[in-house]
Structure 1
Amino acid sequence: MFYYEIYLPINILKEFYYCSPLEIPEGVRVLVSFNRKDMIGICGTRFESAPEKDIRYKQIIEVLDQQPLIDSQLMSLAKWMGEYYYCSTGTACFAMLPAWLIPDIQAEVRWVADDIPEKYKELANAFSEGQAQKVSELRKKLKGKPVLQWVEKATEEGYLELNRKLSPKDKPKTVNYIHIIDKTVDPNSLPSKQKEALQLIYAKSKEEFPLAEISRDVSYSVVHALERKGIISIFPRKIEREFFRFETSGLKKVVTLNEEQERAIQEILQHKGHFQVHLLYGITGSGKTEVYIPIIRSYIQEGKGVIFLIPEIALTPQMVERFQAEFGDILAISHSQLSDRQRLEQWQRIAKGECRLVIGARSAIFSPMPNLGLIIVDEEHEQSYKQENNPRYNGRDVAVMRGKISDAQVILGSATPSLESWYNQKKGKYLLHCLNSRPLDIKLPQVQIVSLCEDYSQQMFSDELISAISFRLERKEQVILFQNRRGFSSYMQCLKCGELIKCPNCDISMYYHRDREEMQCHYCGNTYPSPRKCPQCGSYSFVYGSPGTQKVEQTLRILFPQARILRLDSDSARQQDIYKIMFRRMKDKEVDILLGTQMISKGLDFPEVTLVGIVNADISLNIPDFRAAERTFQLCTQVAGRSGRADKEGEVIIQTYNPRHYAIIYASKQDFPGFAEEELSHRRHLYYPPYYRLARILFQSADNNLLQEEMDELSQKVKNLLNTFPQGEIFLLGPVPAPFTKMKNLYRWHLIIKGRTTQSIKKAINTVLNEYKISSTIHYTIDIDPTTLM
């Protein structure tokens, strides 16, 4: 009998052991019984004898795979993640696998083939003719047989039809089609708009086609009028969802590299073949992508694999377009718009070695890439690399660790590196490569800081910004405006009694969305109709808070009625393919002013954009978080870099109430080294990262009184914790109420731990959890290296 540690998808920090007479490889899926339920786990370390002699071990019920799904390198990474991020190894393992590889034991299956292969005879005989069976029922009928393995293989081979719960993206898409009924109608006999529509329809030279093919040129009401006249019919049709890709011309871009780019490529390739982290710092528009491509090509030519991480695939269409044109079929794309089935197909292609390059968001770091040689993390400073639920990992840091485990090179690229990465290169852990100029002698845009303090009219746009926009519109050039707040306004307050419309779940002011006439909480998503009168005193007079993108858009349409304006934020992004639409319309010069949140702050390279306006640079500066200045600098610098990226001179106008703040001043100069030096001096004195490591324990409970009692008791106990460390080794802040004291009907307190080393952080957390027992009614989460303390 062999004994195995099994990693389960539950976040309990302890080991679970099972036995089996079989020799099972590490990294395969197994079926076990846990807490009276059958559960899929990942097989871990094997033991020749029982880990503890006096315990009766449950047997592994079924082995699902012959070969490991998680190889030894990824298994090492999962174990490191479990230890470092305080999550179970099982949680880390299952974060690496597509959801489609987790069998649904309660799903129904039906035998649909006419023939029965010998290998599936027992399985087929368990079905009543034409009847569906639950997988759990089949397992009862075929005890001791590898039922889950059979079901999975037979479904792949088309013998079984599996009816499992599908995510919305896996369900067929319903599309309206046009069917031409009467081709004899003379378009000239119809009103002008119907005439144009019918000519377009006849020009299609096919009797049925998707309505979307003509929707850009014809309104639905006109098409509907043709249907009422019996010329056409409109009907819905279910179609399989297409694999989401950006359109590409397929033509490789011819690029002439400058001296700095050539030097960076040579210096990085000198370390080819073994682990080394490189920090590629280049000002906005300096051509970091042109450095990446020849390095990637060099690795692919040697048969090695490359993983390329970007913060959000949908926000960087130009990057994807470029890579598709450059590398074609060997490129796999991993992103949020893929269905579960498509994720599985991409995962399998990567595992088989059919794709040598993967481009995707943070979870792409877990791609089963054989012979991995290079990992690139573009815009490495981005907060979106941090996973906010279990396992709470940072994609950039996991990339560095995977590079170390796989002996692969790692490149971190940014125009505004995180201070942690900048500090690591100063300490010699990372190698620095600088791109300080734009190719073809393209100059950085001129930046003007406009103080809003002297403008008592409280108008949204300064005279300078209005004048600059008008000038660009006259010259038929494009403008990007940045306002990092969505909705119409940040709050709605009664003028008579002062009542603030708050979220009942979160005790936070709700945002007003005028387009939907809704109040929405941007933390729990709760919505309800905006009130016509104050719920407290009945008054009809309200005052509105700081403007969001909807209010900015409304004002723009009043000031510039002839301008073609496109708004891009997470509200408008609900429209399907909005990123592709924006990209195409900006390229085709169908948009004069692009307005948006941080979605437009990176990855956009439009030669006709000659003005960038930052409507209010202080939104991120006033957040009660030690990273506020760093985020403000990064956002302002990144947005400013969208201007003047071709031969036309660019301009940036930054509107602010803090014109003398160092983050604003350094951003206006695109001076990252100067900002980093000043910000690091503040961090050093306050014992914040990168000089100290940070951890946060967040305590939550529906009972505020119980939580406060427990936190008061914990507060007394943790004072003794400091005495167990050398002076200055750790600092404790709290426990205190979190800045958002109530969220999703849970009250929140947190304890912040600053530690000089990872080991001291770990010792402090273990002491809090082991020695100071927290009530079972209080839920706690541990966040290592948190990106926000809100």
Structure 2
Amino acid sequence: MIPEPKANSSPLVWVIAVPSPLHRLFEYLPPDGEAFNPACGARVRISFSGRDVIGVFLESRLSRLPNPSTLKRVTSVIDVAASLLLHEQSALLQWLSDYYLIPPGEAYLLGLSNTERKGNLQWEPPLDHVVLREGGDPLATIPKRARRQRDAIALIGNNSVSIADLSEQGISTSVIRSLLSLSLVEKVPSPPISRHAKRASPDLTEEQKRVSIELISKLNHFRAHLLEGITGSGKTEVYLECIKAVIANNQQVLVIVPEIGLTPQTKARFEDALGCEVPLIHSGITESDRGRSWALARSGLAPVILGTRSAVFCSFRSLGLIVVDEEHDPSLKQQDHPRYSARDVAIKRAQLCNCPIILGSATPSLESIANCDAGKYQHHILSERPQGTSLPSISLVDTRGLALASGLSDQAITEITRALSRDEQALLFINRRGFAHSLQCEDCGWVAGCHQCDSSLSVHRNPPHLSCHHCQTKRSTPRQCEECQSIRLSGRGVGTEQLELLMHRLFSDMPVFRIDSDSIKNVDALTSTLDSISAAGSAVLLGTQMLSKGHNFPKVTCVVVVDADNLLFSPDFRAEERLLQLLVQVAGRAGRATLPGKVLIQTRCPDHPLIQEVANNAYSEQARRLLARREELSLPPKGAMGVIRCDASAETNAIDFLDSLKKQLPSTSHARLLGPMPTLMTRRAGMYRYQIIIHGPTRREVHVVMKKAIEMGSQQKLARKVSWFVEIDPTETL
């Protein structure tokens, strides 16, 4: 007689995504006495590597281990009633892990606010308002001698009043406590979203109306839309028309901008147009405020959320539209772990939510243009500025052989003077902070270098010191050369500090506003500076890229690009695209209102084809020429790329690790492996960086190699002596 096979004796286990660098999920036994499974995405508390951590429950299943009885048990379930991760969020985070090769435990936690990742409950509105209890006349129970209590009752009336406002009116907390003890008032939460009267919106141009109608007609399903509008064409007004239509349909909107510096101006414009608070999500606000924004979005109480990269993972009850402004900006790509493109993640999220996404830019990325040409995106164009104003005129200033004053030619100084004399504003763009690029000895040529990086130290004057802008090392300014002891030391190059000093000397009676990361330390400082610029009459604005992105300065009529050659000869294949976008964006700050604008581009290479194209041709024509060149070379967006990067304190360890790994990777006729090779700056912060570039016709071929690299890399003997990672679709390849 043939015996019956034994039933599967493996116990049911819980599959948990644990935040760790390991690219796998983990099995745990359910907690003792637990009779139910939590919802997918629920947070659980577990023990991992000897410490308590917060993981995410994904499913229960039969164990796949040979001896599951030795598994640890889940300590407790945090989200018993419901998961904080919604279904489409979980699907997005799983895709994020698969596509960007991020460990699943680290990917899933991105869908929670910072406080929720620590195991805290989601934000609840504080009980910081009071209202009168229903029933009876409260004044009848308060003695006439209790004057402050009677005043408080009168101030509260039939409204919900904040305790802070009552305090400002002279009502002390002891008075409030007395009214609470008498059961005359009760504490209630503050209104979740503050509301106010809307400001009148400007009249739309015919072009803006046409594009708005086209977009609004397609709000009921997923579609990627590229809104290409020249600088100052009013893309924000089109966004707002679409947002109003989505809110009217009781749905929510996510708006993503590339940098924190763009949030104050965008938030103010949106709140004025919509008549309600627009909560923020970015690293410049407190964890509590971010938790509040996350909870308001999850509950559906916030119609619009505005944020930077991390906002793309925020929970929404009913997401109806995503807007990514300045979609070309490299800042939308997270450059440290976990590495992802917020723009591309937003497109995937829109697909999962079956809602449209609008990608807006005056200088669209070549990837977005290629997707429009392929029919994947719908292309909308705004080719005119409101009020009939034209784009600024662009002139090239050949600085070869000229005697420059802190980097400025006589022609540039003349144009700045003319703009200020007309009670207008001038903007000076120089993408280098500090006083000078480097400190050099006039006798032997020695240059003060960083001991941790392959880079010179920048000169700063306020306060005097030398600083490495890569590893943030600082040291005092030397009095003599370290090689020949000469005291003839001088700065080379021009930075924002030196330019600011010149402007104060030339225009002593004019306000000068410097905007760079040295002078602007936080969002409040930036908001204050932008308000001062708006209130000022004639003024000089100068700064780095912080000044060039998306800001609206109606009084600026003169723009000077102090040195356009910084990126001109970079070996990175994206350098030309970035320089083109940067120059067009900076030039677009001029003449945005009714006043005509003028742009001067100072260069030592006026005959370079790219410089000539900026001065003479529209961005779309130049971008398509660059796109054709990329296609000839099978470079993205035509092909696909990935990198394996390795950092090590010993240079030979980085080389040997990548050499050994490359030998174990599959060689195919499609994917090419280039390297190991040093990055453009080989040593940074005391670590040597080498890389292997993977180039293939499609992402699928590149993915195969990178997945194998993750599997084989962790088995290398040198893996413990180096720090290494993989990155798909890198924005920097050198």
- TM-score normalized with structure 2 length: 0.85
- Cα offset, 1:274, TM superposition: 0.9
- Cα offset, 1:206, TM superposition: 11
Match of 1:36 among 50, 56, 61: 50
Classify 1:686/1:456 alpha carbon distance in 2 versus 1 (closer, same or farther; 3 Å).
farther
Name 1:200's counterpart in structure 2.
Answer: none
- The reply to whether residue 341 of structure 1 matches residue 288 of structure 2 is yes
- Cα offset, 1:738, TM superposition: 1.1
CA contact (8 A) 1:248 1:325 kept: no
Letter in 2 for 1:426: D
Name 1:299's counterpart in structure 2.
Answer: 246
For structure 1, the 5+ residue unaligned runs are 105-147, 159-204, 208-242
- Cα offset, 1:430, TM superposition: 0.4
For residues 244-643 of structure 1, what are the structure 2 equivalents within 5 Å?
A: 251-329=198-276, 331-455=278-402, 460-574=407-521, 577-589=524-536, 592-643=539-590
- Cα offset, 1:759, TM superposition: 0.9
Name 1:759's counterpart in structure 2.
Answer: 700
Name 2:607's counterpart in structure 1.
Answer: 660
For residues 17-416 of structure 1, what are the structure 2 equivalents within 5 Å?
A: 17-20=27-30, 21=34, 22-47=36-61, 49-56=62-69, 57-66=71-80, 67-103=82-118, 251-329=198-276, 331-416=278-363
Question: What's the C-alpha RMSD, in Å, of the aligned pairs?
Answer: 2.6
Classify 1:616/1:316 alpha carbon distance in 2 versus 1 (closer, same or farther; 3 Å).
farther
Letter in 1 for 2:111: M
Letter in 2 for 1:61: T
CA contact (8 A) 1:260 1:435 kept: yes
Hey, what's the Cα distance between the residues in 2 that align with 1:584 and 1:248? 22
Name 2:723's counterpart in structure 1.
Answer: 779
Secondary structure (helix, strand or coil) at the match of 2:232 reads coil
Match of 1:15 among 20, 25, 30: 25
Hey, what's the Cα distance between the residues in 2 that align with 1:654 and 1:368? 44
Secondary structure (helix, strand or coil) at the match of 1:450 reads strand
Deviations 1:722-758 (A, max 9, x none): 4xx23xx223221111111111211110111112111
Hey, what's the Cα distance between the residues in 2 that align with 1:154 and 1:605? 36
Name 2:145's counterpart in structure 1.
Answer: none
- Cα offset, 1:84, TM superposition: 0.8
Hey, what's the Cα distance between the residues in 2 that align with 1:32 and 1:700? 32
- Cα offset, 1:96, TM superposition: 2.4
CA contact (8 A) 1:330 1:354 kept: no
Deviations 1:538-591 (A, max 9, x none): 221223222111111122223333332111000001267221122211111256
Classify 1:713/1:312 alpha carbon distance in 2 versus 1 (closer, same or farther; 3 Å).
closer
Hey, what's the Cα distance between the residues in 2 that align with 1:62 and 1:96? 20
CA contact (8 A) 1:481 1:612 kept: yes
Classify 1:74/1:669 alpha carbon distance in 2 versus 1 (closer, same or farther; 3 Å).
farther
Hey, what's the Cα distance between the residues in 2 that align with 1:302 and 1:658? 54
Classify 1:61/1:712 alpha carbon distance in 2 versus 1 (closer, same or farther; 3 Å).
closer
CA contact (8 A) 2:638 2:697 kept: yes
CA contact (8 A) 2:460 2:466 kept: yes
- Cα offset, 1:248, TM superposition: 12
For structure 2, the 5+ residue unaligned runs are 1-10, 129-167, 171-189
Letter in 2 for 1:751: I
- TM-score normalized with structure 1 length: 0.79
- Cα offset, 1:683, TM superposition: 1.4
CA contact (8 A) 1:566 1:591 kept: no
CA contact (8 A) 1:452 1:656 kept: yes
- Cα offset, 1:53, TM superposition: 4.4
Hey, what's the Cα distance between the residues in 2 that align with 1:471 and 1:51? 77
Name 1:788's counterpart in structure 2.
Answer: 732
CA contact (8 A) 1:316 1:602 kept: no
CA contact (8 A) 1:637 1:670 kept: no
Number of residue pairs aligned between Structure 1 and Structure 2: 654
Deviations 1:597-619 (A, max 9, x none): 01111222222211111111112
CA contact (8 A) 1:662 1:675 kept: no
CA contact (8 A) 1:585 1:591 kept: no
Secondary structure (helix, strand or coil) at the match of 1:323 reads helix
Deviations 1:31-85 (A, max 9, x none): 11111222111111222x2233433322111001121111111111111111111
- The reply to whether residue 740 of structure 1 matches residue 684 of structure 2 is no
CA contact (8 A) 1:282 1:435 kept: yes
Hey, what's the Cα distance between the residues in 1 that align with 2:467 and 2:196? 41
Secondary structure (helix, strand or coil) at the match of 1:574 reads coil
Classify 1:586/1:341 alpha carbon distance in 2 versus 1 (closer, same or farther; 3 Å).
same
The percent identity for this pair of structures is 34
